A = this chain, B = another copy of it.
Amino acid sequence: MFSTGGSDGGVTPTPSARLAGLGLVLPPPPTPKGTYAPVVVSGGLAYVSGQIVTDEGRIVHPGLVDAEVPTDVAKDLARRATLQGLSALQRILGSIDRIRQVLRVGVYVASSPGFVRQHEVANGATDLLVDVFGEAGRPARASVGVVSLPLGAAVEVELLVAVE
């Protein structure tokens, strides 16, 4: 299940092996909801479009976080949006093992007035990234509360990664 990493003889699990070890399977890659690319690769970086969680074309758990979507559900949406982003990356890169480092994550949380725990929601995205990529998955991050998101999504996650 684990493959050899580095030339030092040490054994480091690859990200895809870690993902499998967590019992996770990537969802189908996302379908763009407009004129954009799921991922653009240029200059050793991959820009991943903002991900909102859909299941068979429908938004999962739409609404405002706090009033309509509990924080823990929103945190899981952030995790699932990140898995969708990894799926988009896998499709274009062939494998998530080509991701060298996660540089930045932007987390937009559709928030009821007064909801101020966007950072807890965002941990749903970045906990997963650290689980899968180790410290290379610990990104710079910005988390903000927005008034609404496309199609009523509760959470949107945007990724920037370095690739090899």
**A134 at interface, CB cutoff 8 A:** no
Is the beta-carbon distance between B162 and A34 smaller than 8 angstroms? Answer: no
**Chain B hits for A115, CB < 8 A:** 148
- Which of A38, A40, A123, A149 has the most CB atoms of chain B within a 10 A radius of its CB? A40
Instruction: Tell me the chain A residues, 112-136 only, with Cβ under 8 Å from chain B.
Output: 113-120, 122-123, 126-127, 129-130
**Chain B hits for A142, CB < 8 A:** 49-50, 106, 108, 156, 158
Q: Known contacts A36-B105, A105-B36; is A156 also within 8 Å of B140 by CB?
A: no
Is the beta-carbon distance between B140 and A48 smaller than 8 angstroms? Answer: yes
Residue of B45, B152, B158 near A116 (CB, 8 A) is B152
For chain A, the count of residues having a C-beta within 8 Å of the partner chain is 60
Is the beta-carbon distance between B104 and A140 smaller than 8 angstroms? Answer: no
Q: Known contacts A117-B150, A126-B36, A150-B118; is A103 also within 8 Å of B47 by CB?
A: yes
**A99 at interface, CB cutoff 8 A:** no
| Alpha-carbon distance A65/B138, docked complex (angstroms) | 31
Closest CB in chain B relative to A120 CB, distance in Å = 7
Closest CB in chain B relative to A29 CB, distance in Å = 14
**A18 at interface, CB cutoff 8 A:** no
**A27 at interface, CB cutoff 8 A:** no
Tell me the A residues contacting B by CB distance below 8 Å.
Answer: 33-40, 42-45, 47-50, 62, 101-106, 108, 110-111, 113-120, 122-123, 126-127, 129-130, 138-153, 156, 158, 160, 162
